[in-house]
Amino acid sequence: MMILIPSCKKEGLGDNPTLQELEETIRKSEDHNAKFTYSQYEELLSELKKDKYLVLTMNEMSYTFNDKKVIVGMRHDVDHNPFKALEMARLEKNAGFKTTYYFLATAPYYGKIMGNQVERYSCMEEVYKEIFALHHEIGIHNDLLTIMIKYQIDPFSFNFDEIEFYRSLNIRIKGSSAHGSYIAHRTVPNYEIFSDFAKVRFIEYNSKIYEIGIHSLTEFGFNYEAYFVKYNKYYSESGGSWGFTGGFYQFLNELKKSKPGDRIQLLTHPDWWGKK
Ligand SMILES: [Zn+2]
């Protein structure tokens, strides 16, 4: 007797999706999460165009001090939706700003981690190159604890492969921002992989011990880590909330109250923007 096996339809993305396939998949699962509109983002950008502000990339902020201006370091952690990042990058370019976009190697948009290496989606190179061509800074959204613990890959050599990959696109990486990953929430913040910031030498996860703080930020190839760029005010819509009862407009009012000499780190996640 012949047994008929129905052919299975392949679920999800193949190993090397086109940019269009990747964008369709990501937008289908992510776009509905948006909480703020691009016209609200443009309201924010037009406030920042006022003379009192000096809007900078995070790398520029790390070495720029000016008491006559409100310094604003614009940081974007790209957790889920690089296509929203591209849209924001274009809005900022039109407003005349340069900001920083941190991409996450453990995110579904980035590629697949198999064996002990990451298979990057080559179509994403267009996104990184376009954002960089708009004169923004590209950085690494550091999830090295997940790389070390979940994927059992040496975080130091993994990070150098990352920097080398971006270098192959003529993009020079200058800094990192720590991702609040599942594993980080259960151990220590991702920036504690660096000896500069590690408060302990060993962490435990699922009864296994891992050594952290072996190499410094500089040894990892970075000039700065975003959380440690000096600031006196920090605003973010982390988790989709500005942390004010009045939401976005209360944040905007707080921003308007800033005075020359203030140093503001402004973290926005493209995932939350572009609400229809
Ligand atoms: Zn993140």
Nearest to 272 by CA among 22, 70, 21, 44: 44
Per DSSP, the three-state class of 41 is helix
pLDDT at position 9: 42
Across the chain, where does the E strand assignment appear?
53-56, 70-78, 100-103, 111-114, 117-120, 137-142, 175-178, 202-205, 208-211, 224-225, 233-236, 263-268
> How far, rounded to the nearest angstrom, does the alpha carbon of residue 156 sit from its chain's CA centroid?
19
Task: Give the chain's residues under pLDDT 70.
Answer: 1-12
> How far is the centre of ligand 1, averaged over its atoms, from the C-alpha of 139 (Å)?
12
Distance between CA atoms of residues 24 and 237, nearest Å: 25
pLDDT at position 162: 98
> How far is the centre of ligand 1, averaged over its atoms, from the C-alpha of 80 (Å)?
9
pLDDT at position 15: 85
Entry pTM: 0.95
Q: Are 7 and 20 in contact (CB under 8 A)?
A: no
> How far is the centre of ligand 1, averaged over its atoms, from the C-alpha of 247 (Å)?
21
Topology (CATH) of 36-272: TIM Barrel (3.20.20)
Q: What is the residue-wise DSSP string for 230-272? A: --SEEEE-GGG--SSTTHHHHHHHHHHT--TT-EEEEEE-GGG
Burial 172-190 (b: 16+ CB within 10 A, else e): ebbbbbbbebebbeebbbb
Domain boundaries, the chain: 36-272
pLDDT at position 261: 98
Alpha helix segments (H runs only) across 138-206: 144-149, 155-168, 182-186
Residues with CB under 5 A from ligand 1 (ion): 77, 79, 179
Distance between CA atoms of residues 265 and 179, nearest Å: 16
Cβ partners under 8 Å of residue 48, min gap 6: 55, 72, 95, 97
> How far is the centre of ligand 1, averaged over its atoms, from the C-alpha of 1 (Å)?
55
